[in-house]
Structure 1
Amino acid sequence: MRVNHQMAARAGINADAIPTVYGAVLERLDTGVILLDAAGHPAFINARASRIVAAADGISADATGVSAASGAATRALRAAVAAVAAGQVPSRRVYLERPSGLAALVVTVIPLDGIDDGAPRVALFIIDPAAPVRIDTHALGAAYGLTPREASIAALLTRGADVAQAAGTLGIGVSSAREYLKRVLDKTGARRQANLVRLVLRGFADSPV
């Protein structure tokens, strides 16, 4: 749990209570999460958000608040935080352009209602659309009775590989890969490969979400 005690103290937040309230749940998310006080000062950042911030490509976070790559984007982000914290809107989504030219970061700002005084008031959920999709092949296999090889084929196709590329990655022939794909489609009830990809992304993809 990455609680910044100095930031928390400046925001009047009981940092020691944050792990108890939020625990390991936020750390397990593959979405970046930053918790802020009503003034926009960070008190908590999970592992995924730490990596996004460390990349210095679209968003930064320090004791002064959260910032974007440009002045205009920073103003838009902070205005969204202020509006949500003040209860003016139920949530707000901001798209932050990145100097690298990769797809914009998607930041959803939501209020943290119904928690004690002194706790964080606003949460930022940060999605990096350019991040590779991670598929939970164990859960996928368990849900549909897929063998490890069948689940791997489904995961590779969902990440954008074609059948030949998936076969090469797994060290099998293309005809074998096609047979595995046929079994996957039968077991999942997906009529086509596109349906399979949608099914996997909706239920078994960790990132992006």
Structure 2
Amino acid sequence: MSRAAALMHRATEALTSAIYDAALDPLHWPAVLAHLKTCFRTEAETFYVLDFDTRRLTQAHLAGITPHWMACFDGLYFAPDNPWNVHSEALHRLGMVRTNERLDAYTRERGVLYRSAYYQEWMRPQGFRYSLGNTLTNERSGIVNVTLLRAPDLPTFSAREVQLFERLSGHFARALRIRERLGAAALRRDQLAGALDSLHGGVLIVTPDGALVHGNRAALQTLAQADALVYRQGRVQAARPAWQPALAALLQAHAPRPGGLAASTDTLVLPRTGAGLPLRVQAAGLALPLSSAQSHRPCVLLALSGTPHDPPPSRADWLRQAHALTPAEARLAEALLDGLSLRHAAERLGLTYGSARTRLKGVFHKTGVRRQAELVARLQRELATPLRPH
């Protein structure tokens, strides 16, 4: 393999990896476009959606095109003299690579693109002459295209480059399907989370060793109370160490196994460290799908009951639990959350301003912030969804 061929091989491998990275996280699209530029020596690289119902370009990842020229695109591309628009249904077909020469061959008109306003008023002023594109989906309400544009001082795309682009287009199409499935899974997850949050009873999903996968709002409030169950070091545990073996045994008994789920549910009754009714914890096995239909994550669903009238934890209680604040520090933080200045908070708590400043420094250290406004903003965010795992 020649040096040039070896460099192209490495560049193609890097591009292919970037395509699948972008399927997992759209933030990788700029890297994909940069690799396309390296492989094909182009002036502009684009991944976009054409909507022929609204006659607009949407959801674009672009390199080499300024906002000014994007504002001009729709009117010129969808014009009646643009052959790409006129012959869209025939040319925007899955897997069909489009070039200027293939457009001439289809229309039987040499240089047909160059006579259009789209070329004369949009491509040519930007220094574009040759195009190389492919279609990944072909619904009229959303034709997904990848198109590269090359300057006139370079030759048109070679047969080898067209073949390489055809191979890469298969990766683009598969990456797009991965993105769609991930998006659908995220939507279902968010809908399920919303439904669970609407329940009055607590629901936790944990791994067999107690790691917290998800908790609805009621369950997270129960964990914040820390008087029957606690959330410690990423795991759900019994508040009383003497009851932890019983909780661990419950989780292990209902962890999904190759033979299937447990045939029945069991209930563990946990006493509280303070006053109040015991907490009833009902367990059932649950297998969450991972990246394929053959791979599942064993989990246990815990339904918490017996506390329908328990008040939610106070902010001060939550602050002590979440950030290991002392009662005095928690009272100061709560006063700041009420919108008081540090001086007025000191007056409410019967402190001197200097003592309040010293106490606030301790709160800063434990919460990892440096300014009062940053502290209030962080605590407000956390109080909205207490102890929700990342």
Scaled by the length of structure 2, the TM-score of the pair is: 0.27
Instruction: Specify which structure has the bigger relative contact order, considering alpha-carbon pairs within 8 angstroms and separated by 6 or more residues.
Output: 1
Scaled by the length of structure 1, the TM-score of the pair is: 0.49
Q: Which has the larger radius of gyration?
A: 2
